[in-house]
Amino acid sequence: MSAIAEDKNNEIFITGSKYLMPTYSRLPVVFTKAKMQYLWDANGRKYTDFIAGYGCLNVGHSNREVICAIKKQVENIIQPSNVYYNVPQVRLAEKLCEITGFGSKVFFANSGTEAVEGAVKLARKYSKEKFGNNRYKIISFNKSFHGRTMGALSATAQEEKQRVYQPLLDGFDYADINDIKSVKDKIDNNTCAVIIEPIQGEGGINVSDIEFMKNLKSLCLENKILLIFDEVQTGFARTGKMFAFKNYGIVPDILVLAKSLGGGMPLGAIVSNDEVSSVFTPGSHGSTFGGNAASCAAGIAVIDYLIKNRLADRAFNLGKYFVSKLARLKIQNSIIKDIRGMGLMIGMELYEPVAAEIVNAALSDKFVINRVSPSILRFLPTLVISKRNIDSLIKWLAANLKKY
């Protein structure tokens, strides 16, 4: 790369370092263009994306149908107040209730963490009204990640993320995924809800067992506890079904959605049934920008594209293909400890803490991958990724894992 080419990335990187708070460990590249599974940096170099904006772009970057929907909407109205209905918001809520198969009411937020906050409020309000003021405790799971606002962070059972923000919101306790006894041991008369990611994303791509999930649902029913599924990352065909809960044959009481729902636009949602959602009355919750018309128009286009192009089936089949290729790599490379995931949500755990070095090396060779810990790589490609793209990454990994 020439010095002139380097300056195009470096100039923005240096200016950003000067004016933006250092809340991210930013990599030394600036993307200025994107299309489906590809990214281009400020120097015009093309990359294949295997992280898709942390799972925000299941239908691909700058999807033409999503862009058209946004353009058409912003030419009419972007942000009416939520004291009025807007057409895309109503249409998207209707679609979400239809495709979840259990929902009858929706609340729109701007992000996953805000949707989690709203779900926590909904669960507590419902439980206090139905059972009394002492019914407020929520069980989440060790290694979970539910967001960075104070309520969502309180549900995020990762000490390194919580430590400096103590004291957190009271009333959260943590069990272990795939250990139903650990959940039973945490339940008492004050427990109102359990919140779980079907697959822990930031926690290391830890997949919930079917038997555990069925037992968890039964336990919640037995104790009249609400079951909240956080599908911010697993939703919208990522795991081979439109929603991950459909892989388990159970239905949550509250479903939290975001990320890919907006196709790149900021949008989150809470979906619930009539009984639970009825406790949200005027003034009990709200969001100024939540469900704005432009984001909801994008959400409609996302769902239509997912269904029309059968991307859930595509994620299932390509996920099996990807995992089989990674499993073969595991046989050939002693550094690989485990391959796990569902659909196109896949983790590779290593025996050595070299994930950051691998991410940087891949970026230099125009592959965008991600790490969730010093020893775990995460693959969350767009669902329009091709077998050829996967083969290219596998070839790169085969050549480069031998160095570690």
Which tens digit of pLDDT belongs to each residue from 112-121?
999 999 999 9
- Is the domain of 141 the same as that of 248? yes
pLDDT (tens digit per residue) in 27-85: 989 999 999 999 999 999 999 999 999 999 999 999 999 999 999 999 999 999 999 99
217 and 144 in one domain? yes
Q: What is the pLDDT of residue 17?
A: 92
Decide if 70 is inside a domain.
no
pLDDT the model gives residue 1:
40
In a domain, 346, yes or no: yes
Q: Which amino acid is at 88?
A: P
Segment 196-209 mean pLDDT? 97
Q: What is the pLDDT of residue 5?
A: 44
317 and 295 fall within a common domain: no
- For 123-140, the pLDDT digits (tens) are 999 999 999 889 999 999
pLDDT in tens, 55-70: 999 999 999 999 999 9
Lowest mean pLDDT of 156-170, 320-334, 387-401, name the range: 156-170
pLDDT at residue 19 greater than cutoff 90: yes
Same domain, yes or no, for 322 and 390? yes
CA nearest 254: which of 362, 158, 138, 149?
138
- Could you tell me the residue range of the domain that residue 274 belongs to? 77-308
Can you give the pLDDT at residue 103?
A: 86
Encode the chain in three state secondary structure: CCHHHHHHHHHHHHHHHHHCCCCCCCCCCCEEEEEECEEEECCCCEEEECCHHHHCCCCCECCHHHHHHHHHHHCCCCCCCCCCCCHHHHHHHHHHHHHHCCCCEEEEECCHHHHHHHHHHHHHHHHHHHHCCCCCEEEEEECCCCCCCHHHHHHCECHHHHHHHCCCCCCEEEECCCCHHHHHHHCCCCEEEEEECCEECCCCCEECCHHHHHHHHHHHHHCCCEEEEECCCCCCCCCCCCCHHHHCCCCCCEEEECHHHHECECCEEEEECHHHHCCCCCCCCCCCCCCCHHHHHHHHHHHHHHHHCCHHHHHHHHHHHHHHHHHHHHHHCCCEEEEEEECCEEEEEECCCCHHHHHHHHHHCCEECEEEECCEEEECCCCCCCHHHHHHHHHHHHHHHHHC
pLDDT at 6: 53
Mark whether 294 and 326 lie in a shared domain: no
φ and ψ at residue 17, rounded to 5 degrees: -65, -30
Looking at the fold, whether 121 and 9 belong to one and the same domain comes out as no
Given pLDDT bands bounded at 50, 70 and 90, which one contains residue 7? confident
Q: Residue 230: give its domain's CATH number.
A: 3.40.640.10
Write the pLDDT tens digit of every residue in 336-372.
999 999 999 999 999 999 999 999 999 999 999 999 9
> Do 244 and 351 reside in the same domain of the chain?
no
Q: Region 247-264: what's the mean pLDDT?
A: 97
Among 249, 281, 308, the domain boundary falls at: 308
